[in-house]
Amino acid sequence: MKKKTVHIISHSHWDREWYLPLERHKMKLLDLIDTNMELFDKDPGFYSFHLDGQTIVLDDYLEIRPEKREELLRHVREGHFRVGPFYILQDEFLTSGEANVRNIQTGIREAKAYGNLTKVGYFPDAFGNAGQMPQLLTQAGMEAVAFGRGVKPVGFNNELKEGGEYESAYSEMQWQSPDGTKLLGILFANWYCNGMEIPVDEKEAKAYWEERLAKAEMFASTDELLFMNGCDHQPVQKDLSAAIETARRLYPDIEFVHSNFEDYVKKVQAEAGEKLSTVKGELTSQETDGWYTLVNTCSSHVTLKRQNRRNEVALERVSEPLAVFAAENGKEYPHDRFNYAWKILMQNHPHDSICGCSVDQVNKEIEVRFDRSTEIAHTLSEDASAYVADLTDTSVFEKYGENAVPFVVFNTTGDERTGKVTVVLDAKRDYNKWLWDGRRDMKAWELPEYVVVDSEGNVQKATVEDADVKFGYDLPDDKFRQPYMARQVKVSLFAEKLPALGYRTYALVPAEAAGTAVKGSNIASDDRHLENEFLKVAINDDGTLNVLDKQTGKTYEGLGYFEDTLDAGNEYIYFCSKGNPAIVTKGTKAEIKLVENTDFAASVEVTNVLTVPVSADDQLKEEQEGLVEFMKRTCGRSSETTQIVLHTTVTLEKDSRSVRFVTEFDNTAKDHRIRVVAPTGISCTHHYADSVFEVVNRPNEHSKLWENPCKCEHQQSFVGLNDEKGGMLIANIGLYEYEILPEEKNALAVTILRSVGELGDWGVFPTELSQQLRHITAEYEMTFFAGDLVESNSFRSAYQFQVPYTVAQTKVHAGTLPAEKSWLTWEGERMMFSNLKEKAEGTDRMARFVNCSGEPTVLRIKKDASFETLYFSNILEEEVRPETANADGWYEIPVRGFEIVTVGMR
């Protein structure tokens, strides 16, 4: 008869920063790794230690102790330290699809460089798991995935209780992505500390194992039982070998082994057979009471969330495509600089970091790291766009005289783009005088009346404003810095049908040499009414919008009011105690002012005032310090009030199906939440939300087990819904939390601020910075469409919303590049373009796409002179199979529903 096997895996879940700042945790990390290496050399029964699935811990250790490098590498090569496959343990829902891919790529690359790779995806404490992760991990060569949350948790930290409705019959299961990819999933059913601090004393060990074995057997599908010997920042158990020997004496019919994930997974795969359940898609603990899904971390520290999305976009959607454009024309692709920028960004992506559930010092450092990574991305974008602009032939503008100012507008998204581009250009520069003389002369220079023309001489819809004199400087490659004073102009240009992944050249030229554009009707007829080809917008007295979609004939009413409620929760969880009603701007008087009105764009500034309590009442502090569980708090709001003045710029552009919003305010209150609410009036039971390489279809109502009044969920770029009469989505920049309100005409509520004063979780950790007493900016866009959100490809505008235009000023000169160009021509119904970059090792161009629907489609890519062959790849950028172009010069690649496709162009 086969013995049961107890697999004891030594580990320490290493939150790099959390309830202690980064450097304090690093000091503990030194001791952890040193102690392990001593045990490896001295204790033959202590075989291995799992380094929490992330290679950054090795980087952190060697940064301080480089002299230990060879000793460390030896222990990795010999399998003592188990490393990878990730660079950091990210929060999957708060990091983009590309960021998740780079985390896997970097972790695998570094693990192999250190000498070994653990082929098990590892999410011990992620706050839910993204549905496409089995597909991503399988493409990366993983053999299984281990995780702590998302499936059948019925209490805090997955403390499983008997009874209830479970999604899997066992702690082992098959986890299936929407495309059909399955991967063995290991749930830490009794958490990742079920084997910590194993006793050596026989009496203590008997009681310990009787309890722990019973709990493990309750959920295990095989005779292979997993025990995780460690917990958060847990020091290594030095007497583990002795404790295992005690267990062997007590239970001779059970095999106790100091194990590792690879050996454990192989045994489970061999024994589990067909008995495992299949869980599908995202794992977000929906079959629970809903109190501990931790989804409200999506709105903690909203300023950091905004920084994160802008940082990700600056790298993956702007600077990498631009660097490809430049590399195609002779400029070296800056792999090392991108790797550096990505690593700084990813250092903000561990779950306790990006989730904003750490002490104040941690969140200070996160903000600085975002700034650092974003500055690198901007530098690389400027270098690449300037390089391409200087190669572009602008000699056609020579006929307009010496005051012509050529500039190149780049569209780095995967789709053709139309919209308003705003840029400040130098109309004239003075390098030759002392700066104060240059300023005087530039100020006196008579600014011509300018218009904007394209390379064919067509005058464009644009406005040009004097932007005064500004100081600037060049940093040439071959000489000392060159300061100058410049007379600047602010140009707002309506760019029509900019080519996808390409550019078009324009020039600022004197009006007398070019003529004027054909003038159409202004977008705004007054300060309350805006209209274009698709939408008719009326602004109500309270600042909300009524929008008529001309295509469908459907009117949406009362869109965009603000709601303020008490938040007596913490950085993890929103909670409003009973008896504290919401305060709303609906029905109040707003100030409304027209601030821009042309025939291609109009903007109205709406000012709302929320009069709210300055904080919770004094009882909240008592409840926090008394460790009263958040959902049992009964505090109210202060009798003292403050005014929060919300300034919202509402913009409608020509040829657009979207209304754009920028809401700004100074937060002067504590312990509250602000949301923007849009009652859609759409009749449906399900909605769409953007996630990691997936447009998820979710029910509007939660499970019957759900008790939490808050029913918020994750989003990436947008949330939307539709019925047979029409549809609406709200796109965002870094606003990751939303809620569907069925009782309010299926309203979409998007959180723009959450202000709380404590970390929460296991102790008393006041966090003043999480009150967000600062200037807040929220950017979002309401898009109206006909048909199904996915089938109509309406989601593509939401992805574009996050990506800024890039503009590079240049001079009049000959060049090798034409005035307009695209670097990749592709087609594919319901497909979303994700990224264009160079292969990590080599010069192949890599492009990634995802099918956003469950229906199969075809990805078509046009062959051009810039590449010789095209191949199908995986996310590690390894060639899987070559592709052959059709006679018409198009490659046609069949794509499964929800499949993530990477192609290489050699």
Q: Could you tell me the CATH number of the domain that includes residue 279?
A: 3.20.110.10
Does residue 238 contact residue 35 with C-beta atoms inside 8 Å?
yes
Domain with 717 in it: what CATH number? 2.70.98.30
Buried b / exposed e along 447-486 (16+ C-beta atoms within 10 A): ebebbbbbbeeebbbbbbeebebeeeeeeeeeeeeeebbb
- What is the distance between the alpha carbons of residues 896 and 900, in angstroms, rounded to a whole number? 9
Task: For residue 29, tell me if it sits in a domain.
Answer: yes
Using DSSP's 3-state secondary structure scheme, residue 319 falls into helix
Tell me, yes or no, whether 553 and 631 share the same domain. yes
pLDDT, tens only, 687-741:
999 999 999 999 999 989 899 999 999 999 999 999 999 999 999 999 999 999 9
Same domain, 498 and 534: no
Residue found by looking up tokens 């199969």 in the block: 856
Whether residue 680 is found in the same domain as residue 633: yes
pLDDT category of residue 156 using cuts at 50, 70 and 90:
very low
Residues 794, 862, single domain; the answer is: no
Q: Whole-number mean pLDDT of the chain?
A: 95
Asked if pLDDT for residue 819 goes beyond 90, the answer is yes
Structural domain contains residue 654: yes
Supply the pTM of this predicted model.
0.96
What residues make up the domain containing 792? 527-801
Residue 14 has pLDDT above 50, yes or no: yes
Residue 871's contacts (CB-CB under 8 Å, 6 or more residues apart) are 879, 880, 881, 882, 883, 903, 904, 906
Residue 44 lies in a domain: yes
- Beta partners for residue 227, in sequence order: 8
Given its phi and psi angles, is residue 805 left (phi above 0), alpha (psi -120 to 50 degrees) or beta? beta
Task: Judge whether residue 153 has pLDDT over 70.
Answer: no
Of 203 and 288, which is predicted with more confidence?
203
Residues 535 and 498 both lie in one domain: no
CATH code, 874:
2.60.40
pLDDT of residue 534: 98
Total domains in the chain come to 4
Tell me the average pLDDT across 181-207: 97
Structural domain contains residue 365? no
Q: Is 562 found in the same domain as 493?
A: no
Q: State the CATH number of the domain containing residue 459.
A: 2.60.40.2210
The H-or-E segment that residue 254 falls in is: strand 254-258
Q: What is the structure's pLDDT at 166? A: 56
pLDDT in tens, 783-804: 999 999 999 999 999 999 999 9
Question: Based on the domain organization, do 768 and 828 belong to the same domain?
Answer: no
Q: Are residues 763 and 787 in the same domain?
A: yes
Q: Which amino acid is at 795?
A: F
Note the helical H segments in 711-858: 795-801
In whole angstroms, what is the distance from residue 101 CA to residue 95 CA? 10
Together in a domain, 573 and 510: no
pLDDT digits (tens, 9 = 90+) for 430-452: 998 788 899 999 999 999 999 99
Q: What is the number of other CB atoms lying within 10 angstroms of the CB of residue 709?
A: 11
* Band (684; pLDDT cuts 50, 70, 90): very high
Query: 69-124 pLDDT, tens per residue?
Result: 999 999 999 999 999 999 999 999 999 999 999 999 999 999 999 999 999 999 99
**Is position 76 within any domain?**
yes
Q: In which band, very low, low, confident or very high, does the pLDDT at 514 lie, cut at 50, 70 and 90?
A: confident
Q: Is the same domain home to 660 and 750?
A: yes
For residue 277, is pLDDT > 90? Answer: no
pLDDT at 348 over 90: yes
φ, ψ for residue 370 (rounded to 5)? -60, -45
Residue 841 lies in a domain: yes
Domain final residue, candidates 765, 783, 809: 809
Given a cut of 70, whether residue 1 has pLDDT beyond it is: no
Compute the Cα dihedral for 587, 591, 595, 598 and give only its sign: positive
Does 859 lie in the same domain as 774?
Answer: no
Q: For the chain, what's the residue count?
A: 906
Among 809, 840, 859, the domain boundary falls at 809
φ, ψ of residue 133 to 5 degrees: the values are: -65, -40
Residue finishing a domain among 767, 801, 835: 801
- To 10 degrees, the CA torsion angle through 322, 327, 329, 330? 140
Q: Is the pLDDT of residue 159 over 90?
A: no
Q: Do 575 and 480 have their domain in common?
A: no
What positions carry a catalytic annotation?
125
Q: Is the pLDDT of residue 415 over 70?
A: yes
Residue 654: partners with Cβ closer than 8 Å, 6 or more residues away: 461, 494, 520, 523, 532, 533, 599, 600, 601
Residue 315 lies inside a defined structural domain of this protein: no
Burial letters for 563-587: b for 16+ Cβ neighbours within 10 Å, e otherwise? bbbbbbbbbbbbbbbeebeebbbbe
Task: Indicate whether 1 belongs to any domain.
Answer: no
